[in-house]
Amino acid sequence: MRVRTAVFPVAGWGTRFLPATKAVPKELLPVLDRPAIQYAMEEAIAAGIERIVLVTSDGKRAIEDHFDAAPDLEAFLEARGDIERLRVVRAVSDMVNLVTVRQKEQLGLGHAVLMARDAVGHESFAVVLPDDLIVSERPALSELIDAHEETHGSVVAVMEIPREDSIRYGVVEIDPDLPATDGGRTIPLRGLIEKPAPADAPSNLGIVGRYVLTPKIFEKLERTAHGVGNEIQLTDAIQALAAEQPIVGRRFSGRRFDVGSPEGWLAANIDLALDHPHYGGPLRTWLNARLTER
Ligand code: G1P
């Protein structure tokens, strides 16, 4: 069956971005000209996703408002004859069919995904972490969906990370007995471990926030004990699933930014602006002048 549902966990506090995220959900901080989460939403839709399950918490209602109709704003823009902006505003609310589920306690990413169980039903589904913004020609999630269709197993996005960064990622263990396919981009895995110390990292491939999971993951999540950070970790449930079903890592193409951190957010803004038809030229001129000044 086609992958048509994506779960977007958006219940986290955004502590790395305080005080900016005291009253504004981190997912709505703008990257260039739109909220961070909109990039991940556009990627999912371009990959063929038709239903989004938002797993939210208290204080995140503005995310739903962003993807909802805005009759007063639309009437105002229409009366002013600002058709271009009216089109932009309407395109966001027409984008996708949203379902919202509340995560009442912040027990971790695995727990957030478990909250989406009834909304997802008994079918394979995607998980998209909007903190990971991926700039690429082809939606990264499409690559994972293709790998899922080939292997019928679960898929996690992976990229090379510096060894000392292993404490910030889930890290995969490659299965040496099975061949990688798709020119080495789809890699059979033996296991996964959440945020290992560099000495314990089983490879240099870190997990990025795109997954395609079979519904069996929910049974595993129900039985997953608290792990690293005393949280119920999605990585631990996928590790349990690996004993029964194939799991592959997919190296995706494109550049990934962690927009949940100020430095990643800043890099994403600059990266996107450099290629932008309006902002690119002036930004280059200003950057060059500023760098020669130093
Ligand atoms: C989560 C996952 C981790 C993954 C990371 C990617 O961690 O638990 O396995 O590598 O996202 O962004 P978090 O960043 O929420 O701590």
What CATH number is given to the structural domain containing 222?
3.90.550.10
pLDDT at 59: 87
Q: Is there a domain that residue 274 lies in?
A: no
Structure tokens that stand for 263 in this block: 């430095």
Structure tokens that stand for 78 in this block: 């229409």
Peptide bond into 19 cis (omega under 30): yes
Task: Extract the residue ranges of the chain whose pLDDT is less than 70.
Answer: none
Structure tokens that stand for 173 in this block: 């263990």
**pTM, full prediction:** 0.96
pLDDT at 14: 87
Q: What is the whole-number distance in angstroms between the Cα of residue 227 and the centre of ligand 1?
A: 13
Of all helices (H) and strands (E), which one includes residue 241?
A: helix 234-241
Is there an atom of ligand 1 within 6 Å of 172 CB? no
Count H helices and E strands in the chain, helices first: 11, 13
Atom 10 (ligand 1): residue with closest C-alpha?
169
Atom 7 (ligand 1): residue with closest C-alpha?
169
The per-residue b/e assignment along 162-199, b for 16 or more CB within 10 angstroms, e otherwise, is: eeeebeebbbbbbbeeeeeeeeebbbbbbbbbbbbeee
pLDDT at 293: 87
Q: Is there a domain that residue 256 lies in?
A: yes
pLDDT in tens, 106-128: 999 999 999 999 999 999 999 99
Distance CA 45, CA 15 (A): 28
Which has the closest alpha carbon to 57: 16, 21, 29? 21
pLDDT in tens, 16-62: 999 999 999 999 999 999 999 999 999 999 999 999 999 999 889 99
Question: Ligand 1: which of 168, 172, 173 to mutate, most ligand atoms within 8 Å of CB?
Answer: 168
Q: Is there a domain that residue 265 lies in?
A: no
pLDDT at 53: 97
pLDDT at 232: 97
Q: What is the whole-number distance in angstroms between the Cα of residue 197 and the centre of ligand 1?
A: 15
Angle at 213 between CA 272 and CA 148, to 5 degrees: 80
Say which DSSP state 121 is in: -
Angle at 49 between CA 44 and CA 52, to 5 degrees: 85
Distance CA 290, CA 294 (A): 7
Distance CA 290, CA 255 (A): 25
Q: How many domains does the chain have?
A: 1
Backbone angles phi, psi at 32, to 5 degrees: 60, -95
Q: Which domain holds residue 233?
A: 5-260
Q: Is there a domain that residue 277 lies in?
A: no
Question: Ligand 1: which of 17, 109, 231 to mutate, most ligand atoms within 8 Å of CB?
Answer: 109
Cα dihedral across residues 64, 66, 71, 73: positive or negative: positive
Question: Ligand 1: which of 8, 113, 129 to mutate, most ligand atoms within 8 Å of CB?
Answer: 129
Decide if 189 contacts 173 (C-beta within 8 A).
Answer: yes
Q: Is there a domain that residue 102 lies in?
A: yes
What does each C-alpha distance from 89 to 26, 68, 72, 186 come to in angstroms?
20, 10, 11, 38
